Structure 1
Amino acid sequence: MKFRSLILWIVLSIVLTACGDKAANEKKLVPDQPITIDKTIEEENEQAEETVSDSTEEEIEVAPLPQTLSELAALPPGYVDYLGILRPEEQKQIDELTKDLPDISEEPSELQLDAYYNDLLAIFQQDFQGPEDLIAQLKFQTIGDPDIDDPRKQFKENLNVLVLLDASGSMRADLGGQTQMDAAKKAITNFMKGLPKDANVGLRIYGHKGTGSNSDKELSCSSSELVYPLAPYDQSAFQSSLDKTQPAGWTPIQLALNEAQKDLAPFKGEANTNIVYLVSDGISTCDDDPVGAAKSLYNSDITPIVNVIGFNIDHEGQKQLKEVAKATEGTYQDVQNAESLQKELDQASEIAKKWADWKKDKSTRLEIDRLKNWNDIWDYDARQFRKWVDERQQVGFAMQYLYQTRELMSSESYDYLQQKNRDYHEWIEAEYTKLKQDLYEMNDKKIDEAIQMLEEKYTENAPE
Structure 2
Amino acid sequence: MNRKRYVTFILMLMLLLLAAACSDQKNENEKVEADEPTTSEASADDGEGDGNSADEEAKENTVEEVAADPLPQSLAELEELPAGYTGFISILDENGQKKIDELTAHLPDISGERSGNELDHYYNGLLAVFQQDFKGPDELIAKLKFQSIGSPDIDNPRMQFKENMNVLVILDGSGSMGKKIGGQTQMEAAKKAIVKFVGNLPKEANVGLRVYGHKGTGSSADKAMSCASSDLLYPLQPYEKDAFKQSLDQVKPAGWTPTELAITEAQKDLANFNGEKNTNIVYLVSDGISTCDDDPVAAAKALYDSDITPIINVIGFNVDNDGQRQLKEVAKAVEGTYQDVQDAASLQKELDQANEVAKQWAEWKKRESQSLSHERLKKDLDIFVFDSQQFTKIVDERQQVGFTLQYLYQTKKIMSSESYDYLVEKNTEYHRWVQTQYDELKADLENMNEMQYSEAIQALEEKYLQNTPD
Global fold match (TM > 0.5): yes
1:258 aligns to 2:282 (yes or no)? no
Contact 2:79 2:135 in 1 (8 A): yes
Counterpart of 2:120?
Answer: 114
Counterpart of 1:301?
Answer: 307
- Normalised to the residue count of structure 2, the TM-score between the two structures is 0.88
Matches within 5 A, 1:234-313: 234-313=240-319
Counterpart of 1:69?
Answer: 75
Find 2:225's aligned residue among 219, 224, 245. Answer: 219
Counterpart of 1:142?
Answer: 148
**TM superposition shift of 1:105:** 2.5
1:209 aligns to 2:204 (yes or no)? no
Counterpart of 2:361?
Answer: 355
1:321 aligns to 2:327 (yes or no)? yes
Gaps of 5+ in 2: 1-37
Q: Aligned equivalents of 2:463 and 2:174: distance in 1? A: 40
Counterpart of 1:391?
Answer: 397
**TM superposition shift of 1:461:** 1.6
Counterpart of 1:20?
Answer: none
Contact 1:70 1:130 in 2 (8 A): yes
The one-letter code sitting in structure 1 at the alignment partner of 2:111 is: S
Choose 424-433 or 105-114, whichever is displaced more.
Answer: 105-114
Residues 230-259 of structure 1 show CA distances to partners (whole Å, capped at 9, x for unaligned) of: 111111101111111100111111111111
Q: Aligned equivalents of 1:182 and 1:372: distance in 2? A: 34
**TM superposition shift of 1:388:** 1.0
Identity %: 63
* Number of residue equivalences: 432
Counterpart of 1:22?
Answer: none
Q: Aligned equivalents of 1:401 and 1:42: distance in 2? A: 46
The one-letter code sitting in structure 2 at the alignment partner of 1:192 is: V
SS at match of 1:59: coil
The one-letter code sitting in structure 2 at the alignment partner of 1:237 is: A
Counterpart of 1:165?
Answer: 171
The one-letter code sitting in structure 1 at the alignment partner of 2:151 is: D
Q: Aligned equivalents of 1:108 and 1:41: distance in 2? A: 33
The one-letter code sitting in structure 2 at the alignment partner of 1:300 is: S
**TM superposition shift of 1:378:** 1.7
1:127 aligns to 2:127 (yes or no)? no
The one-letter code sitting in structure 2 at the alignment partner of 1:114 is: D
Contact 2:375 2:452 in 1 (8 A): no
Counterpart of 1:342?
Answer: 348
Choose 354-363 or 233-242, whichever is displaced more.
Answer: 354-363
**TM superposition shift of 1:64:** 0.9
1:80 aligns to 2:86 (yes or no)? yes
Matches within 5 A, 1:315-464: 315-370=321-376, 372-373=378-379, 375-464=381-470
Choose 127-136 or 374-383, whichever is displaced more.
Answer: 374-383
Contact 1:141 1:368 in 2 (8 A): no
Q: Aligned equivalents of 2:286 and 2:427: distance in 1? A: 35
Q: 1:91 to 1:362 in 2, by over 3 A?
A: same
- Normalised to the residue count of structure 1, the TM-score between the two structures is 0.89
The one-letter code sitting in structure 1 at the alignment partner of 2:450 is: D
Counterpart of 2:197?
Answer: 191
Q: 1:140 to 1:375 in 2, by over 3 A?
A: closer
**TM superposition shift of 1:374:** 6.3
User: What's the Cα RMSD here?
Assistant: 2.0
Q: 1:305 to 1:371 in 2, by over 3 A?
A: closer
Residues 378-430 of structure 1 show CA distances to partners (whole Å, capped at 9, x for unaligned) of: 22211111111111111111111111124433101000111111111111010
**TM superposition shift of 1:123:** 1.2
Counterpart of 1:26?
Answer: none
Q: Aligned equivalents of 2:415 and 2:112: distance in 1? A: 7
Residues 3-37 of structure 1 show CA distances to partners (whole Å, capped at 9, x for unaligned) of: xxxxxxxxxxxxxxxxxxxxxxxxxxxx9779789
The one-letter code sitting in structure 2 at the alignment partner of 1:70 is: A
Q: Aligned equivalents of 1:215 and 1:250: distance in 2? A: 11
Structure number with bigger Rg: 2
**TM superposition shift of 1:377:** 1.9
Contact 1:134 1:380 in 2 (8 A): no
Residues 110-131 of structure 1 show CA distances to partners (whole Å, capped at 9, x for unaligned) of: 1111111111111111111111
Find 1:89's aligned residue among 70, 82, 95. Answer: 95
**TM superposition shift of 1:60:** 2.3
Residues 421-453 of structure 1 show CA distances to partners (whole Å, capped at 9, x for unaligned) of: 111111101011011101110121111011011
Q: Aligned equivalents of 2:457 and 2:379: distance in 1? A: 12
The one-letter code sitting in structure 2 at the alignment partner of 1:364 is: Q
